[in-house]
């Protein structure tokens, strides 16, 4: 619409007093802070592998273990398990994304799943966000992977979870690229670090218990 036509259409509003309200509304929209808009994380990586191979990496246990986490339960159907265990030795409920589920699958182009925060952020972890992964075949041996993570609250642990996954998703997609460039991820050192941390925690708990016991 040309400006002259726009203002002709605007005249009846002006007469009815609605023009002032409309201008005020536009002014308010123009001054809304960016945080008031729906925020999301968007990541992208180019993978040297066919689309079908990248799809298998996201939708099978062996595929997930090759780049994402040391263990997983994966049932690639709507409502099926997408349980990603970053710490397989932890108690149930603290292994990682213990009860995430697939929301949609369109092989070999798109999958989505619900997601939660790590155990260190319990308030945010009790909620759910949503992740959409899309696989775009660039050619027969190259796939562009995009990841869109949305559904965020704001303030407190929400902001901390957002910052956490802003870092983590880049690392995950980096591991996906490396999986096809140089081979599957070796989780040996990671699992050793987790077990060592658990052993230190057990030792500290035993020492604290002994210190608090009444002397005889």
* Beta strands across the sheet bearing 96-97: 71-74, 82-85, 96-97
Q: What pTM, to 2 d.p., does this model score?
A: 0.79
- Domain range for 129: 37-183
| CATH number, position 67 | 3.30.530.20
In a domain, 68, yes or no: yes
216 residues of the chain, pLDDT tens digit each: 444 444 444 344 444 454 443 444 444 445 445 445 789 999 999 999 999 999 999 999 999 999 999 999 999 999 999 999 999 999 999 999 999 999 999 999 999 999 999 999 999 999 999 999 999 999 999 999 999 999 999 999 999 999 999 999 999 999 999 999 999 999 999 999 999 999 999 999 888 877 887 766
In a domain, 92, yes or no: yes
**Tell me, what's the pLDDT at 183?**
98
What φ, ψ does residue 49 adopt, rounded to 5°?
-160, 155
Report the length, in residues, of the chain. Answer: 216
Number of domains in the chain: 1
In a domain, 199, yes or no: no
In a domain, 76, yes or no: yes
Q: Which DSSP string corresponds to 183-212?
A: -----HHHHHHHHHHHHHHHHHHHHHHHHH
CA–CA separation, 185 and 87 (whole Å): 15
């Amino acid at each position: 619409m040309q400006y002259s036509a726009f203002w002709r259409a605007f005249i009846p509003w002006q007469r009815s007093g609605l023009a002032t309200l409309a201008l005020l509304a536009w002014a308010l929209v123009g001054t809304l802070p960016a945080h008031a808009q729906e925020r999301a994380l968007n990541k992208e990586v180019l993978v040297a592998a066919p689309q079908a191979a990248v799809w298998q990496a996201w939708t099978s246990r062996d595929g997930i273990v090759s780049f994402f986490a040391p263990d997983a339960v994966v049932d690639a159907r709507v409502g099926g398990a997408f349980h990603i265990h970053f710490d397989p030795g932890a108690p149930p409920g603290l292994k990682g994304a213990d009860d995430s589920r697939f929301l949609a699958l369109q092989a070999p182009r798109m999958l989505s799943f619900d997601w939660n925060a790590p155990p260190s952020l319990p308030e945010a972890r009790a909620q759910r966000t949503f992740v959409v992964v899309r696989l775009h075949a660039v050619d027969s041996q190259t796939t562009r992977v995009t990841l869109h993570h949305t559904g965020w609250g704001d303030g407190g642990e929400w902001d901390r979870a957002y910052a956490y996954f802003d870092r983590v998703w880049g690392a995950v997609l980096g591991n996906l690229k490396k999986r096809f460039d140089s081979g599957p991820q070796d989780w040996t050192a990671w699992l050793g670090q987790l077990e060592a941390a658990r052993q230190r925690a057990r030792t500290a708990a035993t020492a604290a218990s002994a210190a608090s016991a009444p002397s005889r």
